[in-house]
Amino acid sequence: MSFFALKTVAVLSMLFDHVYHLFHLELFDQPLEAFGRWAAESFPGPVGDALSWFAGFLILALPYLGRIAAPIFLFCIANGYRHTRSIKRYAQRIFLFGALAQIPYFLYLKAWEARLGEELYIPLNFMFTLGLGLLSIALYEREKEQNPSLALLAAFLPIAAAEFFRTEGGGMYAMLVPAFYLTMELPLQKRAVIWMLFFPVAQLGYWIWLFQGPITGPPLAETFLYAVGPCLGVAVALFYNGEKGHATKTAQYGVYALYPVHFLVLALLGFWMAS
């Protein structure tokens, strides 16, 4: 899978995730529930039961499509470090669009709150997580040449900053960028084994959340979604074939611009529907 194809999958997954969270009742859950009831009533017996089960399965499975995006974007940053001509301009571009997206991101989450009727914590958006992950690699590479003993400590500083400033995904996601970078040249089989071992550790916070149980913690299905769902994105990233694909500068900047724009559009739609 080419770099362009990977990024396309990530963008589509991201858009689906953000649309789903805001409008899942009207667009997915209610129509699928209605279909399940219709199937059970119209086709009594095994056929109706199977169709009704499938509708229920889709209600549980569809949110996982949105979990694919984050790990792929983190991988793209690690891969981008290897190919960019200027790390400084690359980082500036990421943080610039992160800053431009923060108000639309805030409005999107506020629209989500208006529709859910509950208060959400509003972190710095995911662009800041990506940018800090990039800085982690840059610091590691610089110190690796000058002072190898401090390289890992230097790489840890942006990860700690992501956790301290509570960017979306926090340090747990930021550290995946250098992890992808350090394993990128390994054969596929070795990378798969490493990520099978490493990723559950990186998701430790969600596993703790999961084993709190449905009484003291969030519902089991929700915690399982956040603990296991991103594994799908890691699996997709493993199939990168080293090819650039049909990416152009227009497409590249289009993805950056899409990030704040889609939040603003969804926020306006969300407030309109909430009113």
Digit-coded pLDDT (tens) for 108-147: 999 999 988 778 888 999 999 999 999 999 999 988 888 8
Digit-coded pLDDT (tens) for 137-181: 999 998 888 887 888 899 999 999 999 999 999 998 999 999 999
Q: Per-residue pLDDT for 27 more than 70? A: yes
- Say which range, 39-53, 167-181, 216-230, has the weakest mean pLDDT: 216-230
Q: Residue 210: its pLDDT value, please? A: 59
Digit-coded pLDDT (tens) for 191-212: 888 887 777 666 666 666 656 6
**Total-model pTM:** 0.90
Stretch 20-29: mean pLDDT, rounded?
Answer: 92
Q: For the chain, give the mean pLDDT.
A: 88
Q: Per-residue pLDDT for 246 more than 90? A: no
Choice between 34 and 215, residue whose per-residue pLDDT is larger? 34
Q: Are 200 and 38 in contact (CB under 8 A)?
A: no
Q: Residue 74: its pLDDT value, please? A: 96
Q: Are 214 and 109 in contact (CB under 8 A)?
A: no
Q: Residue 251: its pLDDT value, please? A: 80
